Chains A and B, each alone.
Chain A
Amino acid sequence: MSQNRSFMQCDVFADYAGAGNGLAVVLDGENLSSEQMQAFAKFTNMSETTFVLPTTKANASYRVRIFTPASELPFAGHPSVGTAHAVLEAGLVKVTDGKLVQECAAGLLPITVEGSGKDRCISVRAPRGKIVPHDANIQTLLDAAIKNMALGGLTPTLMNNGPLWWCIELENESAVRDLKPLLADIATLTLASKAVGLSVFARSNSTDYQLVVRAFCPADSIPEDPVTGSANAAIAALMHELKTIEKVGRTYTASQGREVNRDGFVQVRVDDEGEVWIGGKTRTVIEGSLSWD
């Protein structure tokens, strides 16, 4: 039986439409099979498509399933921020004491909501990041992938916060912005080390943001990701672990995406327990109905 479902496509980590990372949200995903969800995520061709479902846990505000065009994910940052925006816009949930609880395959995750209207900032706590040691073979591939980079003070490091990210600090903002990544070498490195991608970052003197970030996932056919929640969380976790976070601040703004014609901002916070929160503004771009099943 065909059914019209409520649909939204929004732009996450964005001050304006087109600045961030797109997300498709099906607001009433009930009774769609996993296969139908996967097929629709392939059709939208967004980096992620989410399906909002009734909660199964008493203290959850909403439940969500997250799909890339290829597979289902237990958790991801940008889809969590965007889905929280969508359920708030649709009036499906109410914020209590600035908080929501998202139920997803990774469990119950706290979400904070600050401000209102265009300035509303939604943040999600990222899984805790850990440094992953690497061997000499990987070091050789790493050296090849970063040989054209002007490195900063931190040792290039592999981080695990769910996905694995290489986090490479560069000398300064222009070293990040002007970088021409060696995509073939990065693909080889990330495949060999089971990383989703390689991120580069540097501190910035801009008044609008304190860190500049770029993220490359050539092995996944994404040469450069426009705005990346998990990579930003991994970088913050690394700086916290190596005790250099105070140089940037425990609460800072990262700029990402300008090199691929976007202009995203990620709000990053490292709390007193050392947990990393990532968030940002979201813009609703497309609203309508979906006819899929």
Chain B
Amino acid sequence: MPPRPYLQVDVFSKRPGCGNPLAVVLDAEGLTDEQMQTIAGWTNLVETTFVLPPTQAQADYRVRIFTPQREIPFAGHPSLGTAHALLASKKINKQNGEIVQECGAGLIPIRIETSKKYRRRLFFRAPAVKNIQPFNNENSEAKAVFSTLELGTLSPSLVEGGRKWWIAEMRDENALRNLVPDYATISAMSKASDSMGLCVFSRCKDQDYQLAVRAFAPAFGIKEDPASGAANATIAAYLLDSGALKDIGHNYRVSQGREIGHDATIDLRAEKQDDIWVGGECQTVISGNINWIDIK
């Protein structure tokens, strides 16, 4: 088996180490499902992707996405990191416009924005939000969580996009950053409502970001996520629905991950429902080859 081009990329990141890491194996043709899963277990990153030739005419590439445990049809951060790896290694040459990713969830458009100020940013269109269900004090597991939080003005809600998340506004940035989450109650709420967990956010003043976000999914083994793609899209849909984006702006920037030693920057484009884009910069950290010889 020949060496294949391999990149390790930092997604939602202005500098290496700020964002969410991703391993990308380019030219993955010929690897079996089992080999892909084993490689994803060995890299030990949250996700490892494998780039394949597209099978549909409109697609620029096909990708398969694996966590160390299993294959998943789609996730935001691996999609952006994979598109970045293809652009950085000049397998795809495009400065601006859209490319189309074929994956387990179908065809996903990825928007490329290159400017002097931001170098290259990539955006994916998030799954449409189907349902926003406000917290009504009856759900005892949710009550146990929300009764302890310094909440902001908007009412907490259970929002269903690609996945379900509880979303709650915190009073201010300090309350958000100093929050010590109670994983046990969040986990119980998540299990009782069949949701991923809890996203909290606060509006921010005098910063180069308009929102600060933290995301907790302890029921899925993720105490706190350093940079959330799709979860930020559900927050954007919720803010759009509530009218809050009139003040915040429909194009806004999120800071996430500082509480766990990261410093991710995530950009949102939320002009209208069903057309919410999530993006940011990616950094190439490791560039080389993977030589996966798995026979003695």
Contacts and interface: CB of A to CB of B under 8 A. Distances in A.
Interface of A: 7, 11, 15-19, 22, 39-40, 42-46, 261, 283-292
A261 B35 CA distance: 12
27 contacts: A16-B293, A16-B296, A17-B42, A17-B292, A17-B293, A18-B292, A19-B294, A22-B42, A22-B43, A22-B44, A40-B17, A43-B21, A43-B285, A44-B8, A45-B21, A45-B45, A283-B293, A285-B290, A285-B291, A285-B292, A286-B286, A286-B289, A287-B3, A287-B289, A288-B287, A291-B16, A291-B283
Contacts of B295: 16
B39 interface: yes
A11 B41 CA distance: 13
A142 B296 CA distance: 39
By CB atoms of chain A within 10 A, which of B3, B39, B288 has the most?
B288
A7 B10 CA distance: 16
B294 A292 contact: no
B296 A15 contact: yes
A7 B287 CA distance: 9
Nearest to B262: A42
Given A16-B293, A283-B293, 7 more contacts: A42-B17, A285-B290, A285-B291, A285-B292, A290-B285, A291-B284, A291-B285
Contacts of A42: 17, 261
Interface in B39-59: 39, 41-45
Nearest to A24: B286
A-B pairs with lowest CB-CB distance, top 3: A288-B288, A39-B17, A15-B296
A127 B6 CA distance: 37
Contacts of B261: 39, 42
A226 to B, nearest CB: 9
B185 interface: no
A46 B288 contact: no
B16 A43 contact: yes
Given A45-B45, A261-B38, A286 B288 contact: yes
Given A16-B293, A283-B293, A288-B286, A11 B42 contact: yes
Contacts of A289: 286-288
Contact of B6 (A15, A18, A40, A288): A288
Contacts of A44: 8
Interface in B167-208: none
B44 A45 contact: yes
Contacts of B21: 43, 45
Contacts of B290: 285-286
Nearest to A7: B286
Contacts of A11: 42
Interface string B28-42: 000000000011011
Contacts of B285: 43, 290-292
B10 A43 contact: yes
A79 to B, nearest CB: 15
Interface string B12-33: 0000110001000000000000
A219 B293 CA distance: 33
B294 to A, nearest CB: 5
By CB atoms of chain B within 10 A, which of A17, A40, A42 has the most?
A17
B259 to A, nearest CB: 14
B42 A18 contact: yes
A261 B41 contact: yes
A123 B105 CA distance: 47
A54 to B, nearest CB: 23
Contacts of A18: 38-39, 41-42, 292, 294
B257 to A, nearest CB: 12
Nearest to A260: B41
Contacts of B45: 45
A284 B294 contact: no
A1 to B, nearest CB: 14
